[in-house]
Amino acid sequence: MAHVAVRTGARMAANVVAADEGGLLRQVLGGTAFERLVLDGDLQVLTIAGHACTPEETTATSPEVLDYELDIAADDLRTRVVRTEVQAVDGNDTSGLTQARAVVGAGRGVGSENGFGEVLELVDHLGGALGVSRVVTGLGWRPHAEQVGQTGSRISPDVYIACGISGAIQHMAGIEGAKTLIAINTDEESTMVQRADYAIIGDLHEVVGAVNEEIRSRRG
């Protein structure tokens, strides 16, 4: 879209979350702040921040079509899908991370590359997806495809369970669309615990292990 704006000489704003007669409101600094701005010109190019609005069915009988002549070669803006790759790691389908209704997040608190057993079992019980912090991918414990945050996926599940994640600004920007946030952490002063709707102070392995046991018991 930035390319289109440059080629047409139009004004552009990215990560817009709202628009009214006073102008546009957009996210900046990884979603940690907002900027109000007004764009000049009849033609404006905008991109909408993920999860900024809920799609609604239009009441219009037909869409309004605006004709605009682009001085661009016929094939200049065309794209084609070369191939689609679905990456599954330990049974976790990373392609469904942004669509999952339940996401279990794991951070440095898991302890090691082999510390995801309880978390992955909970993911399986919930029929959800695993998301991890940047620290986890940086240590090489899990692939980048599972990373949630400013430099990973931005998600909006019904519930996000953060296990052993302190809550860095970049990670919080990626989960701001979550409807319910549950934190499991030993540090009651962490950002994640302070921002959570519900928090459990304790070792994630003990807490998640107990939850898994209770789920197994109830399901017989």
122 pLDDT more than 80: yes
Rounded Cα gap, residues 180 and 104, in angstroms: 12
Looking at 31-40, 87-96, 114-123, which range is the least confident one?
87-96
pLDDT tens-place string over residues 7-61: 888 899 998 888 888 889 888 876 667 889 998 888 889 888 766 677 777 676 6
Strands (E), the chain: 11-20, 23-28, 33-37, 44-48, 88-89, 92-93, 102-106, 129-132, 159-163, 180-185, 198-201
Average pLDDT, the chain: 86
Rounded Cα gap, residues 98 and 155, in angstroms: 5
